[in-house]
Structure formats: structure tokens, C-alpha cells
Structure 1
């Protein structure tokens, strides 16, 4: 469950739609393809560094009792010393502000795209969806509830949804009518297929554990 949740929070399915929408707005010509690739590589590399840093820091925690941010800061002191609370505060702020921007934005792009509305920051409907998602998040975080289980469920759901998105992308990326000479190569399909199988197995394992299906 933790593995699929980690994958779900690192490779968030809705961020794939967000990235595609932003790329579509920023680059229009075929000549821009190289810039789009470089942008994607840099983004993935930075995301990987952040994820690895979090995993390494978490592995250094020896305390078994971590129930809040204060406990987490104390648990990180052997690694960061007196700066642990500042490092944690910076990390939590960064995670919060980036999620507060990207999650509502991605939801707005997905909603407007599915409903056939104009996807633009200047669109009233687009802004309405963005605002609703943001306000709901603020209300939930201000309610005093401890949404840990909700967050875990959301990340597991993201991980379960991931193979569906990967399968759809593989199908689209191999359509001649859409991409022509820019469709996936055999090497791309091999790597894409491996990613699909791994994400599918993890998703099945997560479903098996949640519903006690005893598939394996």
C-alpha cells in the first residue's frame, strides 16, 4: 500500500493532464518539440531528486512515534541537527504551496476539457472550477480534521488509476492518424509497456489488500 501510495503521489495521474495542457498552450509548432522534451526531462529529474531526498530523510528516522509535525521534526534532528524544524517547515510549506497551485489547476483543466469548455486562465468557468477546488481544500484543512487517512486513500487511488492512464497514453502514442511520424518507437513502447505492467501489478496488489480478495 505504501509503495503504490508513493508512486501515486510522485507520478500523479492528473498532473499528466496538467502537463499536457500547459505544453499545448506554451508550444504550438513541431519545431518546439525539442524544447518540450527538455522541459519534461528537467521536470522529471527535479521531481526524482525531491522524491529521493524525502525517502532518504524518512529512512533516517528511528523514532517509532510520529503523530504530528513536531514529532517529525524531533525525529529528523539526528540527520539535520538544530536545523531540522526549519528544514521540515520549508518542506511542508513547499509541498503545500505547490499542491495548492497544481491540484486545482489540474482539476480545472480536466473538468473544462471533459465538459467541452474553453480551457484558459481568462475563462470564468475555468476560474470557477479552480476556485471551488481551492476553497474546498482550505475549508477541509481549517476544519480541524486529521485527513491522514483521506490523503493515504487519495494517493492509493492515484496509484490504482495510474495504469489506466498509462494504457491510454500508450494507445494514443501509437496512433498514426494523430501523431504520424512522431508516434512511439519500439524502444518507447518497450519501456512504456514495462511501466504499464509494473503499475498494473502494484494497483492489483493494492486492490487485493484493500478488499481482501486473496488474488495472490
Structure 2
């Protein structure tokens, strides 16, 4: 039974790897430092919302044997609407992932620097970060191999490593289990916490994961009888990812100091309280979070671009490889030289803010079409949950856009 389950582990861990990047680690760290255990309930809400949407994406991929961007191309008939949808998707996912890739690589490098120091290579007036180059090279090799099973196994290993390190760190801090349970089941809104709550949901319910999941599910499974495996895979992986995020919040709650702005600071803050091992566990976790997101972001962008433009989504096709190489290459260069393009990141945030509710709405619409899914379309309960999540995504999208323009 257990062997059968492991044999059918699919893209779920890759989805978990994608949403637990350095940004999520930093946000969870700040949530724990500033509000203690209080916001754990927001992570539970995020986990439920993510499971509902990701299960729909996986089901769509398996039943239709198409990626989400391919379904959008075929099901939106009006050329102007279809053109706008494709342009928005390409802007949010391809440009967005290029903008965030440097952060993914830098986050992984930060974990390595906590363990091994911060070596630089000087080339003329440029100082190149060696750790960023190493992480970029590892991501390149795994993606270039172009073998789904190799990629899957590597990412499952990294997700398990990440989960164990953050879980161990949380246990080292000797948390109050009764308070944790109360914070999980009783929603509270401490003063100044609203933006953090929205952020916790927003970093877990990620638009590019819906595209990634549908594409990987059709690669892994070819038969409708595999839907049960896909559902279990999604639930286990997303819950595991949620537990990792909660462990980071719990670990950060143990720090009395407020001078914490990222996970590297958290690692240093834990050392005097709980010994050098806490620092090492957290640093390894941050490295795993960075490198897994550094692999999944270019992969998602390649699936999206190929689906939108009608190219082959074969992992070894030239055009598919060209997209992820472009994203990864930009990330490596920006991370290595320490360049931060704020304007590109702002544009990506606006595009993602627009895309999340649009894709959630489209997904809900398509999941009710018998012509696409037949008897596997949404049940009434799935539609109710989907509609509630759609309202949340609209709220998140509006907040994301307003925050870029500093209106809130």
C-alpha cells in the first residue's frame, strides 16, 4: 500500500516546492516575529484554498490532457478576449517569474552563505556571488536533463529536506502546543496584521502553480482512473507545504528581538537561544526553499509560454528549453551581480494581481463544462468552495495592485 502510494507521488511536491520560496519563508518569519502564533489560522485558510484550486488544475490536466494555457487558447473563442488573456498570462508568468527568479536564487544563496560564508569572484568592476552561480548551475543541470522522473525525484528530495529542517527547527524552540492549537482554530486580527494575513494567503495561492500543476499532471498521468492518486498527491503535498510554513512562523515566534527582516536574520537570532544546530537547520531549509523555487519558476514559465503560443510542451524541445534558459539566465545574472529591478518586479506584481482572480474565475468556469470534463466536472460543493476562493482572490488581487501604487 505504502509502496503504491510512493510510486504514484506526482507533481504535488513540485507545487509545494514552488509556493515555499524565499519570499514565503521571509513573510512567515515576519508573521512569527511580529504576531507570534496568532496568524497560524491564516495558513490553514491558505492550505484549504490551495488544495481546492490545485485539485481542479490537476483534474483538468489529466481529463483534458492539456495544460491550462492550452485550454484557455482553445476555449476562449473571442479573438480579442483570447488575445488579452494570453498577453496577461505571458506578462504575469513569464516576465513575473523572470523578475522573481533572482530572489529565488538569492534566497538559496543566503542559506548557503549562513553555512559557508559569502565568497565573491571579482571580474573587473563586477563582484560575482559564487553561491548564486552554484545554485543557478544546479538548477540548469536538473532542467536540462529534461527527464520528468529525475526532476520529480530531485525536487521530492529537496522538499523532504526542507520539511525536516524547518520542522526540526520548530521542535528545537519548544513551542507551546496548546497556544498553537488555539491559534489554528480561533481567527484573530491583531493590530497591523491585515496586510500580513493577506500576504500569507497570497504567497500560498499562486497563479503560476495552477499552470504548472495542470501541465505536470498530464505528463505524469494519462488515465482518468489516476484522478484518485492525483487528489491524494495534491492534498498530502499542499498540507506538507502548509506545515512547513507554519513551522517557520512557530520558529520565528521564539525570537524576542524585533530586528529580524529575513530568514538569515532568523537563523542568527535562533543560534544564541537554541544552539548552533538551529542556525544550521534553518540555513539548509532556506537553501532548499530557494533552489526548489529556482527550478519550478522557469519550468512553469516554459509550460505557460509553450501552451499560449502553441509550441510543444516536451521538456526537451528547443523552444521549451529556450524559455526556461532565458528565465534562469536572467535570475542568475541579476542575483550574481546583486541587481534589483524594482520596476520589473512592480509590473509583475500588478500582472499577478490581475491574473489570480481572472485565472481562478476561468478555472471555475471551465471546471463546469461537460464538453471539456464530461462527468468529471465540479460538484456543487466544489463550486461553492471555488466561489468563496474566487472572492478571496479578487480581494488579494486588488490589494496587490493597490499596494504597488502605495494606496494601502
Same-fold call, TM cutoff 0.5: yes
From 283, 307, 332, the counterpart of 1:138: 332
Q: 113-122 or 48-57: which moved more? A: 48-57
TM-score in terms of structure 1 length: 0.85
Q: Is the 8 A contact 1:7 1:159 kept in 2?
A: no
RMSD: 2.7
1:111 — aligned with what?
A: 305
SS across alignment from 2:399: helix
Q: How many residues align?
A: 214
1:50 — aligned with what?
A: 244
Q: Is the 8 A contact 2:268 2:279 kept in 1?
A: yes
- Which one has more relative contact order, counting CA pairs under 8 Å at least 6 apart? 2
Give the CA deviation at 1:131: 1.1
Q: Distance in 2 between matches of 1:72 and 1:148?
A: 25
1:9 — aligned with what?
A: 203
Q: Is the 8 A contact 1:9 1:158 kept in 2?
A: no
Give the CA deviation at 1:199: 2.1
Give the CA deviation at 1:97: 1.2
Q: Distance in 2 between matches of 1:52 and 1:175?
A: 36
Q: Is the 8 A contact 2:349 2:401 kept in 1?
A: no
Assess, with a 3 A threshold, how the Cα gap between structure 1 residues 146 and 64 changes in structure 2: closer, same or farther.
farther
Q: Distance in 1 between matches of 2:283 and 2:215?
A: 31
From 86, 108, 111, the counterpart of 2:280: 86
Mapping of 1:21-60 within 5 angstroms? 21-60=215-254
Q: Distance in 1 between matches of 2:203 and 2:285?
A: 15
TM-score in terms of structure 2 length: 0.48
Give the CA deviation at 1:58: 2.9
Q: Distance in 1 between matches of 2:320 and 2:229?
A: 27
Assess, with a 3 A threshold, how the Cα gap between structure 1 residues 46 and 195 changes in structure 2: closer, same or farther.
same
Q: Distance in 1 between matches of 2:196 and 2:352?
A: 12
Q: Distance in 1 between matches of 2:254 and 2:212?
A: 33
Assess, with a 3 A threshold, how the Cα gap between structure 1 residues 50 and 150 changes in structure 2: closer, same or farther.
farther
Q: Distance in 2 between matches of 1:75 and 1:55?
A: 14
Q: Distance in 2 between matches of 1:9 and 1:149?
A: 20
From 77, 87, 94, the counterpart of 2:271: 77
Q: Which runs of 5+ in 2 are unaligned?
A: 1-194
1:102 matched to 2:286 = no
Q: Distance in 2 between matches of 1:148 and 1:91?
A: 26
Assess, with a 3 A threshold, how the Cα gap between structure 1 residues 148 and 49 changes in structure 2: closer, same or farther.
farther
Q: Is the 8 A contact 1:174 1:184 kept in 2?
A: yes
Deviations 1:79-137 (A, max 9, x none): 64322220221111111110111001001000111111000112011111111111111
